[in-house]
Amino acid sequence: MRIGRKVRLLTGVVLALALAAGCGGARVETGTSPAPPSTDDTVKIAVNPWVGYEASAAVITYLLEKKLGYTVEKKELAEQVSWEGFEKGDIDIIVENWGHEDLKKTFIQEKKVAVEAGSTGNKGVIGWYVPQWMADEYPGITDYRNLNKYAALFKTSESGDKGQLLFGDPSYVSNEDALIKNLKLNLKVVVAGSEAALIESATQAQRQRKPLLFYFWKPHWLFNRIDLARVGLPPHTDGCDADPKKVACDYAELDLDKIVSRRFADTGGKAYELVKNFSWTNEAQNAVADDITNNGMSAQDAARKWVEANESVWSAWMPH
């Protein structure tokens, strides 16, 4: 999820919730049966492994099913595999793309099996973080040039004699190894395994005042619950991450966008119009994601709650 390549994560908890939400997609009946779409009435949505993505997919799914009468098939896939689904005919929609200029070149420009479908409205930023209490207690720790000074604080059994930089799902693409090498940092990437593991580690670090340096991103509901401080890496400039082996700059802020199959763009009818028009804020996504993760709601129930409270927003997305 970044320019050219990117990362993002989904929790084991979120995975279970997504399954519980009935993502397989029998048509949902409302008070009056909506008119069937004039084209194929099954829409296939990729669900990539992080809860913000799931929140967006849940709202789109709810509107497709409840308001337009489509059947939705959700498929939990890693990012790369989702793009391959355009060519195979397995996927119609990637709801939240974090840059991936390399994949755009392959599947949009060269193979011509996918097209861009506009911004999600969300602004995405990846970065390195420490708990705010560490920024208060250790002068300069949020400047990457001081990380070696404090590296011993982050040592774990997994990182050996280096400081640990905790990462998430191993399927995420990242620049962490290159950053550590090129910035000459005495750190080692340790893979936590999931978004859930990162959240648990951050929560524990806050509660127990346990040192932690970790990879994370916005938008995310966690920032509403824990005070985190971002580590300043060398500022991002155009092209500074073009060569994965030479990256020595921070992540860029991304205008997250939607990608759809060319077939869906051509024949998706009202479903495609809804997806193309979908655009909301980081705050809206965080609210739905928080309900899924922390408030005991299924993805469908969290989407319903948001839809019922925000008709003035989503009504503008509906096809006319």
- Those residues whose C-beta lies under 8 Å from the C-beta of residue 300, and which sit 6 or more positions away, are 21, 22, 58, 61, 62
Alpha carbon 62 to chain centroid, angstroms: 19
The whole model's pTM is what? 0.82
**Cα gap 105→128, rounded to integer Å:** 28
Identity of the residue numbered 315 = S
User: What's the CATH superfamily of 124-231?
Assistant: Glycine betaine-binding periplasmic protein; domain 2 (3.40.190.100)
Query: What is the phi/psi pair of residue 86, to 5°?
Result: -60, -45
pLDDT for 170: 84
What's the number of CA atoms in the CB half-sphere (13 Å) around residue 260? 23
**Cα gap 283→61, rounded to integer Å:** 19
pLDDT for 1: 43
The one-digit pLDDT tens for each residue of the chain (320 residues) are 433 334 343 334 333 333 333 333 333 333 334 434 334 799 999 999 999 999 999 999 999 999 999 999 999 999 999 999 999 999 999 999 998 889 999 999 999 999 999 999 999 999 999 999 999 999 999 999 999 999 999 999 999 999 999 999 887 768 999 999 999 999 999 999 999 999 999 999 999 999 999 999 999 999 999 999 999 999 999 999 999 999 999 999 999 999 999 999 999 999 999 999 999 999 999 999 999 999 999 999 999 999 999 999 999 999 98
Helices of type H across the chain: 12-20, 51-66, 79-88, 101-104, 132-137, 147-150, 176-182, 195-208, 262-267, 269-277, 282-294, 299-309, 311-314
pLDDT for 26: 34
User: What's the CATH superfamily of 12-123+256-314?
Assistant: Periplasmic binding protein-like II (3.40.190.10)
pLDDT for 138: 97
Neighbouring CB atoms inside 10 A of 224's CB total: 11
Cα–Cα separations (whole angstroms), residue 70 to 21, 28, 111: 16, 8, 28
pLDDT for 35: 38
- Those residues whose C-beta lies under 8 Å from the C-beta of residue 88, and which sit 6 or more positions away, are none
Q: What is the DSSP letter of 143?
A: B
Ranges of each domain in the chain:
12-123+256-314, 124-231
